[in-house]
Amino acid sequence: MNEQLRAISELDRVIHEPGRLMIVALLAGVKECDFQFLLTETKMSKGNLSTHLAKLENASYVEIEKTYRGKVPMTLLRLTRAGSKAFEEYRKGLFAAF
Amino acid sequence: MKNFITESIQFARTIVRAKREGRTDELLRSLKEQDQLRIKKRIEIQKIQKTMMQPKRYETINGAGEIGWGMFVLCMALASYSSVVLPNSMQKWRGGMGFLFLFCGCLAMPLCRWAIKKFVTEPRVGYVAFRREKTFWITIVTSVVVAVGISIGLTHLMRPEMIKLAQSQAHNTSATAPVTFSHTDKIMLAVFIVSNTIMYLMMNAFSIKEHRWKWLLLVLITLVPLGIYLFIPGNFYALFRPIGLFLGLVWLASGVVTLFSFIRPYQPPAPDAE
């Protein structure tokens, strides 16, 4: 039981938060997507999603690219190498906890 | 395995010790709590995996693949029909029409996917690009190799009948082939029905769980061609025309219904107020 607790406590806190975990899991399954796609999939509010993305960007887990598609602004999001590695380790940690 | 054995031994020892010390109830309670925690975490792991797989459903959920494939099969059947329906006086048109239908059929699949993605899916759910990993390319290459192998095998098997059919058409004896259902026809039929069923299941891997009527269509697209071949006299080539027409229309209808059922819950977001 103590080992389990230790394993759980060692999990990455940035990813462990449910909202951010969902974002990272979604981004791990795709090459890249835009803000609208994450909004549809997570069903979060725009503000909430922006806050989570900013935290993930600060941790260098997510790369945010502001671009245009024709004349429409578009925010492209992709998981960085560090983000992929952290998510993989998080999953391993979660498995190890049991 | 080693961990499991060690854990089992430890578990047995703990039970013996707890019984000896008269702490059975306490032990059972703690085990129950541990189990509940384990189950909860297992559900969490499954949820993560499900979330990771979630975007993949957008590759097939909009019915683009079904519409494209339906158009392709329909064009193939129409190309085949054009060579029979058009009179001899329009012989020049036969080849041209057939080629036009084949050309449209080949373009239908990528065009439908591109158009539906650009004008229907992306404005509603947003832009997403999928990662093509090594396994994807291995699957594609293996599928192509298997398909080419089957095609070469079938062509080799059908060669005598194709020559006979070409000769009968050259002598203008009959536009259709003999009415016997040969061994080759049976193999062709089996390959056609199995591949058609697999295609339908692959394209509806996600949406078939939502739309139960697709199971009925699956049965229909498997049994109707089989029934036609069994009960109507003719060979594979002659019967491919009505069957192709039927399958094309069914695929197309299934794709259109899927597209509309996708559009309904996903409305494009309202533009932000200036």
CATH code of the domain containing A6: 1.10.10.10
Q: Note the Cα B4 to chain centre separation in Å.
A: 40
Rounded CA separation B250/B126 (Å): 29
Counted domains in chain B: 1
Rounded to the nearest angstrom, the minimum Cα separation between B209 and chain A is 19
Dihedral of CA B215/B124/A52/A62: which sign? positive
Domain membership flag for residue B46: no
Q: Helix B64-85 crosses helix B236-263 at what angle (to 10 degrees)?
A: 150
Is B132 in a helix, a strand, or coil?
coil
Domain membership flag for residue B12: no
Domain membership flag for residue B222: yes
According to DSSP, residue A70 is labeled T
Q: Is B221 within 8 Å of B66 (Cβ atoms)?
A: no
Domain membership flag for residue B66: yes
Counted domains in chain A: 1
Whole-structure pTM value: 0.71
Residues of the domain holding A14: 2-96
Q: What are phi and psi of B181, to 5 degrees?
A: -105, 95
On chain B, the residues whose CB falls within 8 A of the CB of A66 are: none
| pLDDT by 10s per residue, chain B, length 274 | 455 566 667 767 777 777 777 777 777 777 777 777 777 777 777 888 888 888 877 877 888 889 999 999 999 888 888 877 777 777 777 778 888 888 888 898 899 989 998 888 888 888 888 887 788 888 889 988 998 888 888 778 777 776 776 666 555 554 444 556 677 777 777 888 888 888 888 888 778 888 888 999 999 988 888 888 788 777 777 788 888 899 999 999 999 999 998 888 877 776 664 4
A–B interface: beta-carbon pairs under 8 A: 72
Rounded CA separation B133/B25 (Å): 51
Residues of the domain holding B257: 61-130+189-263
Site from B128, B130, B272 to mutate, A interface, most A CB atoms within 10 angstroms: B128
Whether B128 sits inside 8 A of A36 (CB atoms) is no
Domain membership flag for residue B120: yes
Whether A37 sits inside 8 A of B45 (CB atoms) is no
* A11 at B interface, C-beta within 8 A: no
ipTM entry: 0.85
